[in-house]
Amino acid sequence: MTIHYSLCFGLLVSEMIVFLLLILPFPFKIRRAIFRFFATNAIVGKVLYGVKISIIFVSILFVDACQRLLKTMAERQQAKEQLGVRDTAHHDMLLRLAFAQRNCYLCGFCLFCSLILARTYALITELIQAQEAAGKTQAEPASDSNVATLKKQVAQQQAEYNRLADELAAVKGEAARTRDD
């Protein structure tokens, strides 16, 4: 395997390791500390910038691998149509096809894993923010003034509803019902 596909394989393995570390069930405080470290550390930012650039190179390798795969498949089809193909040439053709497929799958999985990794990171970040918001909401008990204001609003809404119901009954000619709530 050439050096650029070896680097692509290394990137794929590192993406899988990071993904497995992301989905481990850490306690909330530890997970929040890890993600804050990732979000605020300058070195991590530079590494992520380098990974983004390498993903661009992997996408170029993916396009090249797909073109080579299509070219190899066309050559194999052309060789099948010719009757005088030697056995060693056939094995050489199959070997080139296998290498082209390997390179195509390697780059494709690397790109796919990078998309999954980015989405998983975003989802976990949203989960942490939602858990922090839920923790703040549970920590703040409802004050008596909030409850009194809410009861007053409910009473006003009920009075308005009763008034509109009485007007509707008057328009329809029905007798107003008594309400004992």
pLDDT at 47: 92
Number of domains in the chain: 2
Same domain, 82 and 154: no
pLDDT at 93: 85
pLDDT at 84: 60
The answer for residues whose C-beta is within 8 angstroms of residue 149's C-beta and 6 or more apart is: none
Q: What is the pTM of this model?
A: 0.68
pLDDT at 178: 55
Same domain, 159 and 126: no
Task: Domain of residue 90: give its range.
Answer: 3-140
Give CA–CA dist 113/56, Å, rounded: 14
Same domain, 47 and 86: yes
**Segments in the chain below pLDDT 50:** none
pLDDT at 92: 85
Same domain, 102 and 159: no
Same domain, 16 and 78: yes
Same domain, 48 and 14: yes
Residue 125 to residues 25, 29, 95, 121: CA-CA distances in angstroms? Answer: 14, 13, 45, 6
pLDDT at 172: 86
